[in-house]
Amino acid sequence: MQILIILLQIVILLAIVLLHVAYTTYFERKVIGHMQVRLGPMTVGWHGLLQPIADGIKSFFKEDIIPEQADKPLFLLAPVICLVTMLASLAVLPFAKGWVLADINIGLLFIFAMSSLASYGIILAGWASNSKYTFLGGMRSMAQVISYEIPMGMSLIGVMMLSGSLNLTEIVNSQGGSLFSIYLFPQIIGFFVFFVAMLAETNRVPFDLPEAETELVSGYITEYSGMRYAMFFMAEYIGMMVMASIGTVCFLGGWNGPFPIPFFPPFWFILKVYGFLFLFIWIRATLPRYRYDQLMELGWKLLIPLALLNIFLTGLFKAFF
């Protein structure tokens, strides 16, 4: 019985998250459209509201092309790895008090593990397509993941030290309910490092090198089509949401808000996540793209020292106050 309930919860969570993914693409296209003096999708439904559904149907019925020279098992597996790992990391996110599927005590580590695994999907996709652009995209992704996992992990060590836990619910609880007790202010350096690393981790502008359109055509997804392409797309958006959720939980006080919303406790959580997503989109509309070696330079020479400094300062703070 217990298992059935959990399964039901998983199905409901997946349905809700996938619907959000569909409408995040709509949100992105609308916001970026208005930032770029155009309207975004307008044709399907009122102001294009049914566009994500039309896109979903389209990619579902499109031909699934597998290149002749591709390494077939790996080619088929790569998008699945990306999507499954991203979906798995949803399990430990606390959407509201008690609204969490798996309240494990290493939640933060679990999410890091899963997002690292997702990059295997990208690397394998780049390798298995047996195309030169995808290969370069896969290589870039590999380098990017190595450079940005480290500052990202380090940037959250400060939060772990302050809250004394890796459990995401604990981290939210330790921040209390008021605006001034959230970890954004004591961990402002950590937040900066986390935010930059988060953009790189999710392959967003200005760090969208693995799929840099004007350089590598589409990077690692060049040879993919139809639903497999859509799976990469969904993985990227779920990745954005998971990273935004981590930011919300670790720095912005999770589901706590100025006043509780009756009947719908995750309101503030979702609002904060969409705030992050808006930032992602805003940055995409504004910034050019880094070059490969400049990306490495930023990661190793700026973010890692900053993250270490943050750990040092937090340690001093903990020792003396």
Partner 1 sequence: MTETTTLSVPVTQGDEDKYKLRMGPQHPATHGVLRVDLELDGETILDCYPQVGYLHRGFEKLAENRTYAQNLVLTDRLDYMAAMANNVGYCEAVEKLLDINVSERAKFLRVMVCEMARLTSHLLWLATHALDIGAMTVFLYAFRERETLMELFAELCGSRLTNTYTRLGGVRQDVTHEIMMKLDRFVNEFPACIAEYETLIDTNRIWLKRTVGIAPVSAEMGLDLCLTGASLRGSGVDYDVRKHMPYAAYDQLDFEVPLGETGDIYARYRIRMEEMLQSNIILRQCIEKMPPGSIVGDDAPDLIMPTIPQKKVTPDTSAHQGLIKLIDDRNVYMEGDVYVATEVPKGELGFYFVSDSKGKPYRMHIRSPSFIHIGALQTLGKGVMVADLIAIIGTLDVVLGECDR
Report the interface residues with partner 1, using CB under 8 A. 32, 35-38, 68-69, 71-72, 127-128, 130, 132-133, 135-136, 139-140, 205-206, 208, 212-217, 284-294
In the complex, the smallest distance separating the C-beta of residue 244 from partner 1, rounded to whole angstroms, is 21
CA 236, CA 122: separation in Å to the nearest integer? 11
User: Least Å distance between CB 258 and partner 1?
Assistant: 33
| Shorter beta-carbon distance to partner 1: residue 97 or 289 | 289
End-to-end CA gap in the chain: 49
User: Rounded to whole angstroms, how far apart are CA atoms 263 and 17?
Assistant: 19
Minimal distance, residue 72 CB to partner 1, in Å: 7
Q: How far is the CB of 305 from partner 1 (least distance, A)?
A: 18
* Backbone φ and ψ of 289, nearest 5°: -105, 140
The answer to whether 158 touches 152, Cβ cutoff 8 Å, is no
Q: Cβ closer to partner 1: 142 or 308?
A: 142
DSSP letter for 65, please: -
| C-alpha torsion sign, points 5, 10, 11, 13 | positive
Query: What is the nearest approach in angstroms of partner 1 to the Cβ of residue 168?
Result: 33
Closest CB to partner 1 among 18 and 139?
Answer: 139
* Shortest Å distance, C-beta 208 to partner 1: 8
With vertex at residue 154, the alpha carbon angle to CA 152 and CA 157, rounded to the nearest 5 degrees, is: 120
CB closer to partner 1 out of 35 and 50: 35
Smaller CB separation from partner 1, 212 or 307:
212
For the chain, what is the largest distance between any 2 Cα atoms, rounded to a whole number of angstroms? 64
Instruction: Give the residue with the Cβ less far from partner 1, 268 or 290.
Output: 290
Q: Which two tokens stand for residue 9?
A: 């919860």
Question: In angstroms, what CA-CA distances link 260 with 177, 256, 268, 269, 273?
Answer: 10, 7, 8, 11, 17
Q: Residue 143 corresponds to which amino acid?
A: A
Decide whether 77 or 217 has the Cβ nearer to partner 1.
217
Instruction: Give the shortest CB-33-to-partner 1 separation in angstroms.
Output: 9
Classify 126 as helix, strand or coil.
helix
